[in-house]
């Protein structure tokens, strides 16, 4: 015979029991914590002491007892079968909870004998619990080896989804993975992108931290300002450091995934440091904790928002709770402890000194109904509703098992379970397939990971003027085919701030349209600067990551938030710049150049200069297709004609000088009037060909058509430089041939104007580029006019006595 020594040899477990045909086990937190005595080698083993009676934990246990009695009264569910229960207190300690689970699985005696082949019906066929994820992990790791069905009502760790490790674990509360996603939906709804996260130092908290960081980054909903782990031992130094971090952080939203005991110690330090102005967000583990809803804590916790497990109505539960009476022998069980805690009395025999210090004795006849206690408040039944569903899930699984028809069963050879020797794994099979609807209207079934359909209520702590606290339901988050769906009644939410409005919690304010986000170096992505978009770029949405370019025919608005059609800009006759340009032309329309020299080249040069002045008119007024195409062509041909004349005149000067020397008469023979006209025509034809090719290949109307313009200017520049060099070579000729000096000076002015034109033109937007080009045309034209014909006009108009053949042939043209 195999024998098992139980932990009961060391622990006197607090429990409540009821006999029945089938026994279901339950693990609940009836006490917050346990005090373990110091171990010595000389003293006898001492029992741990459970401390801090948990009224709500006791109500959870009583809900299981109520549910089993309700099922036993139901003639349609498990007829002719009476359910019993064995309920244990884990005292908030893993070792006690684990010992209780082993006791449930193996029996309440110190030795439990199995058959030689290790088969036989265990004392319980299923367990409801445990409360904590860590306890459930430890228990399921062991009892899962025997396929013992465990249905938790409060363990939310996502790690329990692992069916390889926990093949017989089920739960009627959604896992933390969904609770995390539900919290993120709330953050996104209110625009809280900068939050702090506190977690408990256990599987529950650490898995939440991992899941939250991953899901938050994936959703892009925000960033963590800090992540801190709350110690189990409530070390004051650690808590002071955490509270200091909370107080100094710019995050105004603090999320806490921890247990009531963690929050109690944390809020004590928060109260000492007087840390106000925070929006607390609670996990389901403490969102309904009345121990925190006290007058001295509500100035800090008022307005708390949190996710809570689905609430439901349980008809008849309050009446059942009212009928609870302590045992007649007042033994140390849950009912007697509840009675002593509620009425602050002690059953006889009382502890030493109890009566002497003014303590009262319990009679068992105290009036519970008129007692103000949260135990009887059944308006928000969350964990209790999950306990209710867990017990019914086991009952429906048993009912399906008992209704199995021989030959149509799910096991080997289509067999059914042996009702005299039911094995836990057989109940797991039926538990996986249950599907029923509660009286509250919620459907209950388990997915492949043992989870129910995820749904959470959103609760808000309303702090009333009289100091009372009401936990109100303000919304719901549920899983749908499209993902998580959040429904909120924002008008009901109580905000614990002077403004009574939704708080803000961001690392950096949103970037308006027209700017882009630039992440701050070494900080999370939620911390950024807003950089204005450059000219020609826009951002039309808030918090844009980058600025985008406008289409070719559009430009950015002054606010850089949208693209607008480019404005057609031109020099107008009616604006000052156009009037000035046009006035210059009108003023010099009767220029005395025509009287400067009557030679053929001089007249041709005057005509070309006139064309240069006239071509500037094509740059004035609203642009049309023909003006766009002709303005640069006319400009280029006119200036080449002008410079060609100057170049030929320079060559003529050199030829005349050479002809004046002995034996040089033949030079003029090869460069007579016919050759001069032919040279001017040939040089001008080259420019005409360049302009024609430009018009055909890339119209000057096209923005960015710079190659043709560059070739046009380059050809003019080549001829001007050539003229300058030739004139510079002839600058020291005798006085009667000193026109070379005038050509040198005119070409120097011409080249200077057009060299300065290029950078000014490139950096001038819109109509100002046309203005720059017009000024360059006029300046160079006036320069040529004054430099070449000014001295001749001076002699003709002011010194007529020197305008004779003798003077010209004898002394030449000289200014005095």
Integer CA distances (angstroms), 510 to 205, 505, 593, 635, 755, in order? 31, 11, 68, 53, 48
Residues 146 and 251 both lie in one domain: no
Rounded Cα–Cα distance for residues 167 and 150 (Å) = 10
Residues 718 and 791 both lie in one domain: yes
Residues 84 and 68 both lie in one domain: yes
State the CATH number of the domain containing residue 147.
3.40.50.2300
Rounded Cα–Cα distance for residues 26 and 22 (Å) = 13
- Across 581-585, 595-599, 695-699, which has the greatest mean pLDDT? 695-699
796 in a domain, yes or no? yes
DSSP state of 550: P
Residues 17 and 126 both lie in one domain: yes
Residues 206 and 280 both lie in one domain: yes
449 in a domain, yes or no? no
Interval 616-643: pLDDT, tens: 777 766 667 777 777 778 888 888 888 8
- Residue 279, exposed/middle/buried by CB under 10 A (0-12, 13-18, 19+)? buried
Residues 751 and 794 both lie in one domain: yes
| pLDDT score recorded for residue 665 | 57
371 in a domain, yes or no? no
Any idea which of 118-127, 139-148, 212-221 has the lowest mean pLDDT?
Answer: 118-127
812 in a domain, yes or no? no
By residue range, what is the domain housing residue 303?
Answer: 176-310+454-492
- Across 286-290, 426-430, 577-581, 744-748, which has the greatest mean pLDDT? 426-430
**What is the arithmetic mean of pLDDT over 755-769?**
71
Any idea which of 264-278, 354-368, 409-423, 777-791 has the lowest mean pLDDT?
Answer: 777-791
Residues 234 and 214 both lie in one domain: yes
| Cβ contact 51:29 at 8 Å | no
On the question of pLDDT at 430 being above 90, the answer is yes
Residues 436 and 458 both lie in one domain: no
| pLDDT score recorded for residue 264 | 92
Interval 782-802: pLDDT, tens: 787 777 777 776 666 676 666
Number of domains in the chain: 4
Neighbours of 581 (CB within 10 A): 21
Using pLDDT thresholds of 50, 70 and 90, give the confidence band for residue 753: confident
Higher pLDDT, 529 or 582: 529
781 in a domain, yes or no? yes
Integer CA distances (angstroms), 425 to 168, 338, 422, 432, 471, in order? 8, 36, 9, 11, 41
| Cβ contact 334:30 at 8 Å | yes
705 in a domain, yes or no? yes
pTM for this predicted structure: 0.58
Paired tokens of 352: 């030493």
Rounded Cα–Cα distance for residues 168 and 67 (Å) = 22
| pLDDT score recorded for residue 108 | 53
Query: Coil, strand, or helix at residue 525?
Result: coil
Interval 217-229: pLDDT, tens: 888 888 999 999 9
| pLDDT score recorded for residue 254 | 96
648 in a domain, yes or no? yes
Could you please report the per-residue DSSP string of 196-219? EEEEESSHHHHHHHHHHHHHHHHH
The last residue of one of the domains, among 398, 420, 441, is: 441
Rounded Cα–Cα distance for residues 629 and 300 (Å) = 76
Using pLDDT thresholds of 50, 70 and 90, give the confidence band for residue 5: very low
The per-residue pLDDT of the chain, averaged, comes to 81
State the CATH number of the domain containing residue 631.
1.20.1070
H/E run at residue 654:
helix 625-659
**Is the omega angle on the peptide bond into residue 172 within 30 degrees of 0, that is, cis?**
no
- Residue 625, exposed/middle/buried by CB under 10 A (0-12, 13-18, 19+)? exposed
Using pLDDT thresholds of 50, 70 and 90, give the confidence band for residue 65: very high
Neighbours of 483 (CB within 10 A): 8
Residues 681 and 585 both lie in one domain: yes
Rounded Cα–Cα distance for residues 154 and 803 (Å) = 119
Interval 657-673: pLDDT, tens: 776 666 555 555 666 77
| Cβ contact 259:229 at 8 Å | no
Higher pLDDT, 42 or 322: 322
142 in a domain, yes or no? yes
Residues 422 and 554 both lie in one domain: no
Residues 169 and 257 both lie in one domain: no
Q: How many residues are recorded in the chain? A: 816
Residues 295 and 424 both lie in one domain: no
């Amino acid at each position: 015979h195999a024998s098992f020594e139980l932990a009961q040899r060391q622990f006197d477990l607090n429990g409540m029991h009821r006999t029945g045909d089938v026994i279901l086990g339950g693990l609940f937190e009836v006490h917050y914590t346990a005090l373990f005595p110091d171990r010595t080698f000389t003293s006898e083993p001492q029992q741990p002491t459970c401390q801090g009676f948990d009224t709500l934990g006791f109500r959870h246990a009583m809900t299981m007892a109520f549910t089993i009695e309700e099922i036993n009264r139901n003639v349609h569910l498990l007829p002719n079968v009476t359910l019993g229960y064995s309920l244990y207190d884990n005292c908030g300690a893993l070792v006690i909870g684990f010992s209780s689970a082993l006791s449930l699985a193996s029996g309440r005696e110190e030795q439990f004998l199995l058959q030689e082949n290790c088969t036989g019906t265990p004392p319980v066929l299923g367990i409801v619990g445990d409360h904590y994820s860590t306890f459930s992990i430890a228990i399921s790791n062991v009892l899962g080896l025997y396929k013992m069905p465990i249905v938790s009502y409060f363990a939310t760790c996502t790690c329990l989804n692992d069916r390889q490790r926990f093949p017989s674990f089920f739960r009627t509360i959604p896992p933390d993975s969904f609770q995390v996603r539900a919290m993120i939906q709330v953050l996104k709804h209110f625009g809280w992108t900068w939050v702090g996260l506190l977690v408990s130092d256990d599987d529950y908290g650490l898995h939440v931290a991992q899941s939250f960081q991953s899901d938050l980054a994936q959703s892009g909903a925000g960033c963590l300002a800090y992540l801190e782990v709350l110690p189990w031992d409530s070390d004051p130094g650690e808590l002071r450091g955490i509270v200091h971090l909370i107080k100094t952080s710019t995050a105004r939203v603090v999320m806490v995934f921890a247990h009531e005991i963690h929050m109690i110690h944390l809020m004590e330090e928060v109260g000492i440091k007087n840390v106000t102005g925070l929006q607390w967000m609670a996990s389901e583990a403490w969102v309904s904790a009345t121990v925190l809803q006290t007058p001295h804590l509500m100035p800090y916790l008022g307005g708390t928002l949190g996710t809570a497990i689905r609430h439901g109505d349980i008809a008849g539960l309050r009446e059942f709770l009212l009928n609870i009476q302590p045992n007649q022998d007042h033994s140390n069980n849950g009912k007697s402890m509840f009675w002593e805690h509620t009425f602050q009395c002690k059953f006889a025999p009382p502890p030493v000194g109890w009566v002497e210090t003014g303590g009262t004795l319990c009679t068992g006849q105290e009036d519970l109904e008129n007692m103000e206690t949260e135990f009887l408040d059944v308006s928000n039944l969350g964990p209790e509703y999950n306990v209710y569903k867990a017990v019914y899930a086991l009952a429906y699984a048993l009912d399906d098992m008992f209704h199995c028809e021989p030959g149509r069963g799910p096991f080997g050879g289509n067999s059914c379970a042996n009702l005299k020797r039911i094995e836990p794994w057989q109940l797991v099979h039926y538990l996986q397939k249950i599907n029923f609807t509660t009286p509250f209207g919620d459907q209950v079934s388990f997915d492949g990971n043992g989870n129910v359909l995820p749904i959470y209520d959103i609760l808000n702590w309303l702090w009333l003027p009289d100091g009372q606290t009401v936990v109100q339901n303000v919304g719901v988050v549920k899983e749908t085919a499209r993902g998580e769906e959040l429904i909120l009644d924002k008008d009901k939410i109580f905000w614990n701030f002077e403004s009574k409005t939704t708080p803000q919690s961001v690392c950096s304010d949103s970037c308006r349209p027209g700017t882009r986000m630039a992440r701050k170096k070494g900080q999370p992505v939620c911390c950024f600067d807003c950089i204005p978009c450059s000219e020609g770029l826009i951002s039309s949405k808030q918090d844009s990551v980058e600025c985008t370019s406008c289409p070719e025919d559009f430009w950015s608005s002054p606010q850089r938030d949208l693209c607008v059609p480019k404005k057609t800009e031109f020099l107008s006759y009616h604006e000052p710049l156009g009037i000035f340009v046009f006035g210059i032309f009108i003023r010099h329309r009767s220029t005395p150049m025509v009287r400067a020299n009557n030679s053929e080249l001089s007249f041709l040069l005057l005509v070309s200069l006139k064309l240069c002045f006239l071509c500037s008119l094509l740059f004035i007024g609203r642009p049309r297709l023909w003006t766009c195409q002709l303005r640069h062509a006319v400009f280029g041909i006119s200036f080449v004609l002008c410079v060609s004349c100057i170049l030929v005149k320079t060559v003529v000067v050199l030829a005349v000088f050479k002809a004046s020397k002995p034996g040089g008469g033949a030079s003029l023979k090869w460069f007579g009037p016919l050759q001069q006209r032919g040279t001017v025509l040939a040089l001008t034809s080259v420019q005409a060909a360049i302009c024609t090719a430009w018009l055909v290949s890339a119209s000057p109307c096209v923005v960015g058509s710079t190659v043709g313009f560059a070739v046009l200017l380059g050809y003019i520049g080549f001829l001007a430089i050539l003229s300058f060099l030739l004139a510079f070579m002839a600058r020291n000729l005798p006085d009667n041939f000193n026109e070379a000096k005038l050509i040198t000076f005119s070409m120097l002015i011409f080249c200077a104007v057009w060299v300065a034109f290029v950078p000014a033109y490139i950096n001038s937007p819109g109509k100002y580029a046309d203005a720059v080009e017009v000024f360059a045309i006029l300046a160079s034209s006036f320069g040529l006019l004054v430099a070449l014909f000014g001295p001749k006009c001076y002699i003709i108009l002011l010194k007529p006595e020197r305008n004779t053949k003798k003077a010209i042939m004898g002394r030449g043209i000289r200014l005095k």
